[in-house]
Structure 1
């Protein structure tokens, strides 16, 4: 059987079409079974079923309109909110189904059994959604981590690198939140400030006002920025230019030498792998370290933790990443772990490389964070004991 060009074009979109049909079906089918089919009857059953069908149709439609070419803020807010809420309800419906099996073994009969499970799922889901919204929109907690760097000179011992990442400025206007993040960063008195990518979702024209407070960050040894995958879903070149205008140094497969007290280190940055679709972009650690003194310790900004494999080969002392959001909404971190070697925190890779993975400063999509709190990170570099 032979396929023509038009057939191949259609086939290319089949996995995406399946994703947009199957995932919403699962998100709504399991809660429908636990909350509607098992626990209701009569008019309530039909109303609940109609709402489930409506949600199943609305979610992919709003997602495509909100995050597709139309870039409708109203649609993206609708889709993201529905996605987040249904993920929580789906998760606890699965747990509810397990609880239902336990109640069957315990001899609890229907309709009491199904109503206990349905009520439990609804109460826990509602509580977690309310708490998750608060956690997502609050000022991030400050997390301080000391990192021992072999070869770091005494003049750089105690260097404070303050890291923000995954701010994802988007349809929700978070200008005041952005200002408060900057106030917090400045109060931490960073020597170096870093933004490890996923700055914003959308065009510079739409999101610049939320990003502009970053221009007020104070860091005497420099402010550095790299692209994340979401810049490449939108206007990467525009955001690189904007951050440069705000006084941040974009590290586009480049490095800078940081000096203090007569000692030096190399601070390098590489593009996100998503950038390979844009001419001249994509991660190139060899280019980033070209001309650098290999005797100096290297700190690397790379948006995705899985880029650490290249860092290990290059002998990087510390890689700083984001991207994972710590899973953002439990238990999504288990799926993140399939794609990334680390979800959050400080880890070791190879013989000489450490990786710090931030849970992110903002949130993507659903305004929810459940068991994955946001953070502003202070990495204090320490000279290794002799």
Structure 2
């Protein structure tokens, strides 16, 4: 089949429905591959949903990569892309193809020896080596990214001959975003270093949708650090504002909200991502993404339920603690009251004992006086030759003296032992 025949078949389906468009583009791509010919037509747009030439070229190179997933295939694709795709659509097509084909061939990462041989051949070609090396670098880096080989990706982007051959493209926003992805996932690099690369790519005027996606992907799968969830939530929210219809950014935002504990908002975002997903075409791996989103939704629902149970548990603990504090306060008050009563009883007992002691001293003094008076009176009565009148006077004087003595002892005892405040 000649070049005109391929183009004629594609022109015939411009206004057809999407199913027919996919079928014809797939057939033409398969025919090109069987004939050993690359697509013989130019691509003027980056419309992967309606441009039959782009869709057919996309299917063709997809088949080529599935058949031979190597850096040399990526180099051939880069040469065709530079010659056939319009400049205004080239960046979008280049980034989507390099990263997309890397994802579908991620199970075939080439060895260091194969990488060195391919790099040598790419550099020796007549085509612009920097452009070709850049596409090939993105392709190989995309494989490492899809396999989450963070340290290998970091080393490849920083020091491999293929990446160095990309020249000025190493400063591109997408290249920096890939470096940020590698740094976030590596345990040998700090979160501050990764965030610095992220900010460079994020603030670049060349920032594309793919740059944003890789940046968010890197944050999501980063080694946990302080502010991890907040960073993902905030950057994903900005991406959603710029691309409100992008299901992947909605999914990243749902993940960030889930990490920060906002389960209701996370559930709303992942449901929105699921609603937007059917608009994705054949290359979007609809089933795979749907399963991923549904799994995340289950995790969010489970986290939401767990958070509700934790909140209820904390409320019960707080109520129990409050009751415990009340009982403790009542117990302390009761103990204080009992202590005061005990101290009061002790004081009363001490005062009563002291009073009894005083009474005992007074009683002893009184008995001593009575006995002394009786003995003295007996001597006066039984001895001497005093008259009765003199004896009575003497006994009276003696008794008054003992009364005075008893009163003096009793009064002194009371004065010494009387209560004092």
Q: TM-score, normalised by structure 2?
A: 0.26
Identify, as 1 or 2, the structure richer in strand: 1
Higher RCO, Cα 8 Å, sep 6+: 1
Q: TM-score, normalised by structure 1?
A: 0.27
* Larger Cα-atom Rg: 2
